[in-house]
Structure 1
């Protein structure tokens, strides 16, 4: 009889642990997926900003040596990611290919200018100091004009900020939901052991002594849930990379390290904190209140 009861309680305990691990794993998987989207969105925003181009038109009187020196100075600036030098002959060939007409031969000369396309850093493009940089470029004796689309720049920055706000709000909401769900699962697990907790307290065990095994077990369950969630997330990302590579969505090793590490640590910490408060609650309850 005692043996069957032991088996029954062990089975209930195992079921309780499995329920907690599954809850933690599913919640962390959703949270990790959202975190990956956030990091990917940030990387895409950086790429979009760095694709924004300043077209610097050079004077026809500029020597090749001066132009190369000017280009090198631009590339050394902490505001610039890179530059591309396009000669007026290259520009003419590209334009003729687009138009389908040889306008240089028709005009008898090439009306275009040598240009340097300047790609700015993401931080600088979003800072709003673009006009100051334009004025700085125009001060050079080699520059005849600077061309860029300020309306497009403002539109890009506004949309990136708006999308970032939506994603951040969604992440905060998801964190609160995950805390509530994991806390509920752990409290149910601790509830089934409330009489054990109170019995240990009645025979003289101190609160830290009673809490210690529960805390250690909860951290273990949180780590297991985090590892399961991380494995699921990596499988999903690998599947997406193999089947939807044309979308350009690929998690970098750094991104995966941040996401996986964050999931595991968050799972362990959340399980530990929820267990701490749940056990503390039953330690502070009177014996009669355990039956309610």
Structure 2
């Protein structure tokens, strides 16, 4: 009879562990997907930002030495990602191609100016920072005009801020759901051992001594769930990269490393905290209260 009861208890405990691992794996899988979306959305946003061009049109009397000095200065600026010098002849050819006719035949002279296209680092592509750069270089005696697409920059900034806000709200929601679900699963697993906890306490074991094995057990279950979720994420990333190769998910080792570290860290922290408070609750209960 005792052996049969022990087997029943063992199966019940194993079933409890399996449910904890599955719950943790599913929740962390969702968090991992959200983490990838956040990281890739930032990369995509930066990609579009770094396509914005600020053109510095030069005065006609700028010498070759002055041009090289200006280019050197621009390259040293923290906002510069890349720059491209375009002569007025090259600009005329580009306009001719776009218009489909040679406008120089009507004008006679080339009214365009030599210019430097400055591609900015993503952090500087905001209306405020680009205005600062524009103001700074408009004062330069070598530059006739500073030009960039202000409506595009404003629209890009607003859309990115709006998307970032909702992604953060979604992240907060999923984070809260993760804490609640993992905490509930661990509390249920520890609930089945509440009498063991109280027995150990009654024979003189300290609270920290009682908590320690439960915490380590939960951490191991959490890390196992995290590994299962990471395997699922890798499978998902493989198929997404296969059908949408432009995202380059498999090649983005930094993003994958951040997500993996985040999943493992989340599993460790939430299981540790949840187990600590769950065991503390049963340690503080009176023996009669364990039956309710």
Same fold (TM over 0.5): yes
Question: Which residue of structure 1 aligns with residue 27 of structure 2?
Answer: 27
Moved segments of 4+, more than 3 Å: 105-109, 246-251
User: CA offsets, 1:155-214, max 9 Å, x none?
Assistant: 221221121111111111111111001111111111111112122222222222211111
- 1:64 positional shift: 2.9
Superposition deviation, residue 7 in structure 1: 2.2
The alignment's TM-score, normalised by the length of structure 1, stands at: 0.93
Give 2:219's aligned residue: 219
Contact 1:40 1:251 in 2 (8 A): no
SS in 2 for 1:205: coil
Q: What are the within-5 Å matches in structure 2 for residues 6-85 of structure 1?
A: 6-85=6-85
Match of 2:110 in 1: 110
C-alpha deviations, 1:11-41, integer Å up to 9, x for none?
Answer: 1111111110111111111111111111222
**Partners of 2:28 and 2:178 within 8 A in 1:** yes
Give 1:94 deviation, angstroms.
Answer: 1.7
The question of whether the paired residues in 1 share the 8 Å contact of 2:127 and 2:154 is answered with no
CA distance in 1, matches of 2:64, 2:96: 24
SS at match of 1:128: helix
Matched length:
292
Shift, 1:249, TM fit: 6.0
Residue 237 of structure 1 and its aligned partner are, at CA, apart by 1.4
Deviation at 1:288, TM superposition (A): 1.2
Matches within 5 A, 1:96-245: 96-126=96-126, 128-245=128-245
Structure 2 unaligned regions, length at least 5: none
TM-score (norm 2): 0.93
Looking at structure 1, the residues matched to 222 and 57 of structure 2 have their Cα atoms a distance apart, in angstroms, of 59
Aligned-residue offset at 1:48: 2.4
Deviation at 1:246, TM superposition (A): 3.5
Tell me: CA distance 1:251–1:289, structure 2 relative to 1, closer, same or farther (3 Å): farther
Distance 1:18 1:172 in 2: 27
Following the alignment from structure 1 to structure 2, what is the Cα–Cα distance between the partners of residues 249 and 60?
47
Residue 60 and residue 150 in structure 1: after superposition, are their counterparts in 2 closer, same or farther (change >3 A)? same
Checking the alignment, whether the CA contact within 8 Å between 1:32 and 1:233 is kept in structure 2 is yes
Q: Cα deviation per residue 1:213-240 (whole Å; 9 max; x = unaligned)?
A: 1111011011111111122112211211
- Measured on the aligned residues, the alpha-carbon RMSD in Å equals 1.8
Unaligned runs of 5+ in 1: none
Partner Cα separation in structure 2 for residue 169 and residue 227 of structure 1: 26
